[in-house]
Structure 1
Amino acid sequence: MKLLILDRDGVINQDSDAYIKSVEEWIPIPGSIEAIAQLSKAGWTVAIATNQSGIARGYYDMATLDAMHARLRSLVAEQGGEVGLIVYCPHGPDENCACRKPKPGMLNTIANHYAADLRGMWFVGDSKGDLEAAQAVDSQPVLVLTGKGQKTRSTSVPANTLVFDDLAAVAAELIHTHASQNG
């Protein structure tokens, strides 16, 4: 199975320090929807692992989060693709849950769902927590420079981190590399 796991805010859609609190505020980063659709059409399963502490903070409710994810699925479907499992952590940073990145709980949930091995699998994020979660399960940390990515790159990132401008560049690399390995 070709499995790719993505963070959401800052990778797929615009991020905000004030949180993404409504479907109207959920704005795709240019090229991200097309990238997911292209990956899907090329045989990749694209899953999402996203911290959503805005739920714990009372900024939005589960129905709003579900509506954001329904919008994401709809936009990708319009491009002929499909979004796989979406896992989220609704907890605040002080709740000490096992799922909130940088802890690897959500990545393990996705691995169990697909009966997949996370070693070497790409996990694409824009924050240090994303990269640390990838490291915790021996996945390949991949940093995009959208969202908080530029700021994250200026800190110390894991030595083996791959860096791309955006999700479209990640998709182009995976689709091109896989096609050339099989062709």
Structure 2
Amino acid sequence: MTTVDRVGQRRPPDAVLFDRDDTLIVDVPYLADPALVRPMPGAAEQLLALRAAGVRVGVVSNQSGVARGLITAGQLAAVVARVEELLGPFDTWQICPHGPDDGCPCRKPRPGMVLAAAAALDTTPERCVVIGDIGADVHAALAAGARAVLVPTAATRPAEIAMAHEHAAVAADITEAVAVALHGGRPADRSGRDEP
């Protein structure tokens, strides 16, 4: 939902919440080494634009490598620090360290991290937009009452893209996703560019 003020202008969201892997940084499975952190194309520029527009930014990220014993809490913290070194500070980090069978309410596609991020930023989920690369990101956003924009990668399933077209928005890249988050609506039809 996009808020419109009394003169008909669209208000930007209070916050944009990003998935981490393959949205903000290149996915390295169970990333434990901060030296391997590489920003996704356009991520740094779009984060700067959001901050300049007064929109707060956050991260909502499943990191089951902790529960699986593949990443230590210290390694995860070092990766977070490196992401901030490369992409600037985030207003909130919400990380679920649990495994898929732990029944955790914060693990995407459940809405816990989106709800927690909104609370940490003293706003409501309805004033937030979640940008991510898989269906779990979209489902978590919608379950919390937030808007969602899917940026497909090679790992995104066709069914997830179809679901996002129906219930959220699909963007070709992070630049287009941020434009949709700021200005509302859906991306223009790009004749198949949404396919991975």
Q: Secondary structure at the match of 2:34?
A: coil
Distance in 2 (CA, whole Å) between partners of 1:6 and 1:171 is: 10
Assess if the C-alpha contact under 8 Å between 1:10 and 1:148 holds in 2. no
Assess if the C-alpha contact under 8 Å between 2:135 and 2:160 holds in 1. no
Match of 2:93 among 86, 96, 99: 86
> 1:46, CA displacement in angstroms?
0.5
> 1:155, CA displacement in angstroms?
5.3
When normalised by structure 1's length, the TM-score is: 0.83
Assess if the C-alpha contact under 8 Å between 2:14 and 2:123 holds in 1. no
Q: Secondary structure at the match of 1:24?
A: helix
* Counterpart check, 1:157 vs 2:163: yes
Matched length: 171
Aligned equivalent of 1:101: 108
CA shift in 2, pair 1:35/1:44, >3 Å: same
CA shift in 2, pair 1:167/1:147, >3 Å: farther
Aligned equivalent of 1:181: none
Aligned equivalent of 1:130: 137
Aligned equivalent of 2:36: 25
Percent identity between the aligned chains?
Answer: 31
Deviations 1:125-170 (A, max 9, x none): 1111111111101211210123634x35665414122111222222
> 1:25, CA displacement in angstroms?
2.6
Match of 1:65 among 56, 61, 76: 76
AA aligned opposite 1:104? P
Assess if the C-alpha contact under 8 Å between 2:44 and 2:87 holds in 1. yes
AA aligned opposite 1:68? V
Aligned Cα root-mean-square deviation (Å): 2.1
Distance in 2 (CA, whole Å) between partners of 1:171 and 1:156 is: 20
Can you give the 5+ residue segments of structure 2 that lack an aligned partner in the other structure?
A: 1-12, 185-196
> 1:20, CA displacement in angstroms?
2.0
> 1:83, CA displacement in angstroms?
1.6
Q: Secondary structure at the match of 2:61?
A: strand
Moved more, 158-167 or 102-111: 158-167
Aligned equivalent of 2:51: 40
Assess if the C-alpha contact under 8 Å between 1:123 and 1:141 holds in 2. yes
CA shift in 2, pair 1:117/1:147, >3 Å: farther
CA shift in 2, pair 1:152/1:43, >3 Å: farther
Aligned equivalent of 2:192: none
Q: Secondary structure at the match of 1:101?
A: coil
Moved more, 7-16 or 44-53: 7-16
Distance in 1 (CA, whole Å) between partners of 2:82 and 2:71 is: 16
Assess if the C-alpha contact under 8 Å between 1:145 and 1:163 holds in 2. yes
Deviations 1:109-135 (A, max 9, x none): 111112211126311111111111111
AA aligned opposite 1:12? L
AA aligned opposite 1:65? L
Deviations 1:61-120 (A, max 9, x none): 11111111111112223xxxx321011000011111111001111111111112211126
Can you give the 5+ residue segments of structure 1 that lack an aligned partner in the other structure?
A: 179-183
